[in-house]
Structures are given as C-alpha cells and as structure tokens.
Homo-oligomer: A and B are copies of this chain.
Amino acid sequence: MLGVEEVLKEVLVKVTPRREEYEKVWSLITRLCDKLKGVAEEHSLKIDVEVEGSVAKDTWLAGNRDIDIFMLFPKSLPEDFIRKYGLLIAREAVKRVGGSYYETYAYHPYIKGLIEGYEVDIVPAYRVEPHEVLTPVDRTPYHTRYVISKLTQDMKNDVRLLKQFMKGIGVYGAEIKVGGFSGYLCELLVIHYGSFLNVLRNAMEWRPWRTVIDIEGYYSQQELRRLRKVFGNSPLVIIDPVDKTRNAAAAVSLQRLCEFKAAARMFLENPSIEFFFPPPPKLLKPEDYERLRLRRGSTFLVIEIPCPKLPPDILWGEVYRSLRGLRRLLEKYEFSVLSQLAWSDEKSVVLFFYEVHSDKLPVVEKHVGPPIGAGEREESFLRKYLIENAEEVFAGPFIEGGSWIVFKRRKISDLKTLLSERSLEAKHGTHIREIFAKKQHRVYVNEEVEEILRRHERDDFNVRLSQLLSGTYSWLKVACEEVVNEEKHVGN
C-alpha cells in the first residue's frame, strides 16, 4: 500500500496543467478578449471583459477544456439590452477568432464558443457591487476575486486534488443531474480547512442538516442555529463569503454528501490513487442480462420517453421529479420497489428504470375503510361495497382493528397496465407530463428490457445499470481490496 503522501504526489502530477497548457489557454483567452472588446466598441459599448472560473483562479484540472469569460455591462442598461448585445458581441468575436458556437441558457442566454478544442462560455452580466447583485451570474466576478485573494500555491494544488477526488467518486458538479459539489465549493473548503487532507478529515465528521460552515465568521453561534432553519432543505450549509445570505452548498444532496463523507473516511484509512482515477466501469452485456435477471427473481421495468428539448438543469429537474413520481405511483398500487435509476443522453431519449418485486399482484386486495362509528363515512362505505359495487367484492365488509375492511377486486394488478394507463397519476415535470399525456412513453418489462440494453450497449446507461445490478462504488471496492490484501500480508 502506498502512503497517503505518495498517492497525492502521484495524483498531483496528473492533475496539474503543464506549461504548454497554460500558454495555449492564455493565448486563446487574450485573443478572444481583444475581439470581444473590439466588437463592443464597434457598437459604441464600453464593457469590461473578465476571465472567471477555474482558469482565472488557477485551479483547473489538467486537460480541462472549459473556459469562462464574462462581459460586464453597466448596471444602468436593461436586462433585455445586455442579453441581446451580449449574444451579438460574443457571436461576432468567436467568428473572428475562427471558432464556431451555439446559443445556450443558464440564467441569461449565452454563447458557448468552440475554439481550438476548448469550450468557451461567454456570459453577459452586470458590473455591480456585491450587495447590488441583479442576477445570479453577477456574483461570479466576486467569487473569482475572493478565491484568488485567499489561495496560496499549495492550496491551489489541494483544490485540484479535492476536485479530482470528487470527480473520481462521482460527487463533483453542482448541476441538478449530479447534485454535488461545485468547483467554487471545493475552493471554499480548501480555504476553510487549509488543505485537501484536512477537508477530508473534517468531512468525516459532517452531520447532515446540522453542519454549518461560516468561513468569514459573519454570524454568531446563535445566529447560525437560527439560520439552519432558513436553509432547512439543504443537508449542508456553507455560507458564501461573497454573500452571507447565500448557501454555497445548496446544490449538495444528501446522497452526494454521504458519499463524500464515506469516501473521505475510506480514503484516509486506505489511501489509493484509484479514488481519484477509478478503474474503467464494467458494461453489462445484453446477452448476460436475462441470466442476471432470472438469478435475482425480481421484475425489471424500463419506461422510455423521447427527451424533451430543455437546458440540462431543467431537464434533470423534471427527470428526477418523474423518477420519484413514478416510484410513488408504483408503491401506491402496491408494487414494492427495490431500486430505481434515471438516465438520459440529454438529446433523444430518457429512460426510467425500476426493479420491483413482481409484475403481477393478486387480484384480491384488502381495502381499509372508515372506523366503526364514523357515521356518514361508514354509511357510504357500507353502501358502496354491499350494494353499489357489490360485484367487485370478494368478501366482507368485515371489522378489523376497529375499522371496516373489504376484500375487493384490485383495479390494476399488472405492472404494464398500470404504467400504460395510469402514468399520469404520478407527479411529473411539466414537459415530461405532456409526453406521458400524449402516450409517447413505451413500457418494457423483464425480457423486453434486453432490447433497451442492446440499443444502449455502449452508453453510460449500461454502465449505470451494470453498477446498480451487480456493482458497488468503485472506491469502496478499492478500499475493500486494500483491506483484504493487508490481511493476507499480515497472515503470511
């Protein structure tokens, strides 16, 4: 087993950009910024152009292809104006440095330029004081400045280690799809705890819905306790040094928080480079699927819908909403859910996967009615099952535990019927609901799922499904192998 220092040294060599990379990035940035300012001036606009993000802060990972450039407009201009001119200037500038582009959307619409292999986000924002922030993106320049003012060279290395660690264990990224830690959050953590290893040591002790980190000490202990309630939905609160009313960790889900906590402990106990660079995932061969399914004796289900055209965060918000909604629908109709998974290529298809106990339920269903002595409700329950719907009743009404019960014909006892006919009873995102309303969803059960696997044989869907059905976290496997090897060693 390598010592932790050796591991970190090895990782650092891999994640630190080389000199050529710096030169290439900054040469491109200089050219592009010149063009942006030039085009603006042609429109008689005086804007500031600033590099933001990990490139500006020198915390990017070697090989990273993302660059963030902000065009800062005076706050006197209306939002419509800066949106229009922002797009116009960015498009023209990208063209002039020989790149291509497409329009996309975060808070504002903005331009993603594809230049010399880099993806350059060119984002319009306002030049304002921190307390004047008009749109969420206006805060970014202050994030950049804050981080630059705090990070030493060693700490930059530690940010890179932390980012790569989070990437390796799958908790990196504040997008809704991931629900994890942003690059800025990694920087804040290193600033607060001083080093990569200290972040890990402290993260082990984090308590979801309890831990509050207030780097700049804006609040008293008492205020922080009260504040916890304001940020009640977030399992982790890290007060943004640039805006003390903002939780910089708002995107972090309980899932990713717990994964990070657990992986941090595992790494400190069994340091290994594989936490940072996990082994390639196994793929589930479609021809192995049927055997795997029969061995488990459970029922597999895939619901396939065409992917609505939406920005990724909106899309994944809706996808996860439907994933939860459909799960609750299954459970409402008494199908026991073992596991679930949503996947999308963000272009053509969204897949919802569930593993349930069985695709059939007994036709008979025990239905619990009102308590004895409930007057009106009792009356109408008895009327319903003795007279009006008597043909649906197998037996009863009986009394059980002080309430009326009846054994009746189950409305839906088949999984496919439920999802074909009742999928609109589930909670969905707006656009996904439309797709279900138009009956554009297709349902695959058990052996039919093999078709889906064949279609996505090389996709990340296969990787995810393979992990769900026969894997574990790769970092957990690595840690476990370390322990086994160690024990063998001690045994010899």
Q: Which A positions have Cβ atoms within 8 angstroms of B?
A: 204-205, 207-208, 254-255, 258-259, 261-262, 295-299, 338-339, 355, 357-358, 360-364, 366, 372-373, 378, 382-383, 386-387, 394-402, 407, 413, 467-473, 476-477, 480, 483-484
Contacts and interface: CB of A to CB of B under 8 A. Distances in A.
A373 B206 CA distance: 9
Given A297-B413, A373-B261, A468 B395 contact: yes
B470 A382 contact: no
A264 to B, nearest CB: 10
Contacts of A471: 395
A472 B382 CA distance: 11
Contact of A402 (B258, B373, B396, B400): B258
Given A402-B208, A472-B386, A484-B387, A297 B397 contact: no
A364 B382 contact: no
Given A259-B399, A382-B476, A398-B473, 14 more contacts: A207-B373, A258-B372, A258-B399, A262-B373, A298-B364, A338-B362, A338-B366, A339-B366, A357-B362, A383-B483, A387-B480, A395-B471, A397-B472, A398-B472
B296 A362 contact: yes
A397 B258 contact: no
Given A204-B373, A387-B483, A395 B470 contact: yes
A184 to B, nearest CB: 24
A484 B373 CA distance: 22
A372 B261 contact: yes
Contacts of A255: 399-400
A476 B338 contact: no
8 contacts: A208-B402, A255-B399, A297-B364, A298-B362, A357-B362, A382-B480, A386-B472, A387-B480
A397 B258 CA distance: 13
A262 B372 contact: yes
Contact of A386 (B364, B470, B480): B480
Question: What are the 7 tightest A-B residue pairs by CB atom distance, in nearest-first order?
Answer: A298-B362, A297-B363, A296-B364, A386-B480, A297-B362, A258-B372, A258-B399
A295 B205 CA distance: 56
Contacts of A472: 386, 395-398
Nearest to A261: B372
Given A258-B399, A373-B261, A386-B480, A338 B469 contact: no
A118 B39 CA distance: 115
A298 B378 CA distance: 27
Nearest to A371: B258
A127 to B, nearest CB: 42
Contacts of A382: 476, 480
A471 to B, nearest CB: 6
A191 B129 CA distance: 87
A468 B254 CA distance: 47
Contacts of A207: 373
B360 A470 contact: no
A397 B476 contact: yes
A399 B363 contact: no
A262 B374 CA distance: 10
Contacts of A363: 295-298
Nearest to A294: B363
Contacts of A298: 362-364
Nearest to A299: B362
A254 B297 contact: no
Nearest to A406: B472
A429 to B, nearest CB: 22
A378 B264 CA distance: 14
A468 B399 CA distance: 11
Nearest to A471: B395
A43 to B, nearest CB: 52
Contacts of A254: 401-402
Contacts of A399: 255, 258-259, 262
B468 A386 contact: no
A282 to B, nearest CB: 11
A259 to B, nearest CB: 6
A407 B372 CA distance: 42
Nearest to A269: B379
A366 to B, nearest CB: 5
A469 to B, nearest CB: 6
Nearest to A470: B395
A467 B357 CA distance: 30
Contacts of A261: 372-373
A373 to B, nearest CB: 6
Contact of A361 (B357, B364, B396, B473): B357
